[in-house]
Chains A and B, each alone.
Chain A
Amino acid sequence: MLLLALAGMIGKLLATGQMAKYMATWLDPLSAAAAALLAVMGAFELATLLDRRARSLRLESDRTEHAGVSPDQVAMAPEAPGKATPTGAEEALTALLVALVVGIGLFVTPRALGSSGLGGEPVSGLLLRYAPGHGASGGVPPMPSSTAPLIGDFDGLLNALRRAGAAMDGQRVRVAGTIVPADDLGPGELTLLRYQIAHCVADARPLALLVVAPRGATPEALEADRWIEVEGTLAERQRGGDRLVTIEATRISPIEEPASPYLSPPP
């Protein structure tokens, strides 16, 4: 039953799209295969259990009919020698832990990692920076913000920064992430957080961007871990000798958490 429940949980996560809140989506076929295998194993166990019960009932009926042995004595007959089984305590604890996993998977609505996934790392240390001396790559000139095509997602922004670095100054971007509170930000500044995963949330690495809110906006009013979409232009801010990748925002809008909230590792 545990195996079938586990298989069912994985199936539910895949069917509802919630698996993307736990694992990289490219692993979905592997998860589906694991669920199928668990279902097969569970079905075999169930079939074996039912078969044993049926034979035990037949044996019990034969013995009570021919030897006058009480049903209780038959039921308590020891198993054949050499067939060890896990202790009851081990079985119960295993069942409890599997039930915990299944319970969370079935009944908890998972949300993407937020500031609580930082493990105490200061967000200021995670802000994206231009590498020292990194300017235009391959002679790429800075792109005027008014004519540059908009980069519409975080992955696209990261790829562009890898290619052209500070030459991306003035580039129009639109990215989403969660707000992370930080004590050492200037007025009107906020930090946008996303996580990158290779396999699953356990290997998530945080990425943070400095965002300067539009004039008149009050980013302090936005609650921590709220998903927002920021549209603006790339710029650079000097902070403690570092050149921080900054978005000078023209618009900040609260949004619903995306169905696939995690970024993939760079190619």
Chain B
Amino acid sequence: MVLPGPLNAFAVVFVSIVLQSLPFVLLGVFAAALVERHLAPGTLLRWLPHRRLATVLVAGLFGFVAPVCDCGVIPLGRRLAAKGVPGYAATTFVLAAPVVNPVVLFATLVAFQGRWEMAALRALMTLSVAVVVGLLAAWLLPGADGPTSPPETPGDRPARGLAPLVRLATAELLDIAFFVILGALFTAAVQILVPRGNLAALGGSPVGSVATLMPVATILSICSEADAFVARAFAATFAPGALLAFMTIGQIVDLRNGFLLARTLDRRLVVLILAVAYGLVFTEGILLNGVLS
């Protein structure tokens, strides 16, 4: 069956988002299953620093150990929360890990042809949002849960080996599959239907360029390993600060994982993330346009 032009574009974009998310989501659900099976409750809490600032910094940098995308990180984040990691720290991890990891930073370095400052600034901007959200969540929303746990998988008698791990991972996957696919559906529809207009015309202004690319990043919902290549395609017409804002906001606030975040986080926390992410990234993007241009 061959679909007409716009419907074909929608179908192809929709399925491609699901297909490219799958390996990373599977990585995340198996990592979550491993945490559930092999990490005793409270273990991580003993290792974490006592001070909140230090805790969020450690949580933000933990992405170097867990390189998962923004969809796959949520199952892992909520299993960590279930094992005693404070909600605010788990939230910091969920926001930072999709970018602050070796895979994405290397992809950024490759996309920008070795310009290490782009990779470094990207990591710092992401960390700044994750840490600020974590600290504000700890002080302003002490009662708010971080990523919440899914129900326990319906299990049989306790068993060793691969089977319980696979069943746990399957339960995680089926728990989030609806939101991942719904996010892909929504993203595809918006990408095809919402006119982006003449982006190049807005690229020259230090403020306008950031204000233009940030919502584009939210709409396009590109995964963290690929968005640097898309950002580089904009490099001819947009200043570096706008490109960094594009790469940062796109991994924290996008349509694809928005449904999943709304489901797993406290509503007040979601509002906090939106406000801090957009406000901080916008400000940093403009400042960097002034410094780097």
Contact = CB atoms under 8 A, between A and B. Distances in A.
A, B assembled together: yes
Interface of A: 2-3, 6, 10, 13, 19, 21-23, 27, 30-31, 33-34, 37-38, 40-41, 44-45, 48, 51-52, 79, 82-86, 90-91, 93-94, 97-98, 100-101, 104-105, 107-111, 113-117, 119-122, 125, 196, 198-203, 205, 225, 265
B152 to A, nearest CB: 6
B226 interface: yes
A85 B19 contact: no
B230 A205 contact: yes
Contacts of B229: 198, 203, 265
A22 B19 contact: yes
Nearest to A84: B151
A51 B167 CA distance: 14
Contact of A121 (B15, B198, B230): B198
A27 B20 contact: yes
B281 to A, nearest CB: 20
Given A38-B22, A122-B198, 11 more contacts: A10-B22, A34-B23, A40-B166, A41-B166, A48-B156, A94-B178, A97-B181, A113-B12, A117-B192, A125-B199, A265-B232
Nearest to A79: B154
A48 B156 CA distance: 9
B236 to A, nearest CB: 8
Contacts, number: 172
Interface stretch (B36-44, B92-100, B128-136, B216-224): B216-224
Contacts of A104: 11, 14-15
- Interface residues of chain A: helix, strand, loop or mixed (majority): helix
A84 B16 contact: no
A30 to B, nearest CB: 5
Given A37-B26, A84-B152, A203 B226 contact: yes
A180 to B, nearest CB: 12
B195 interface: yes
A120 B2 contact: no
Nearest to A108: B1
Contacts of B226: 198-200, 203
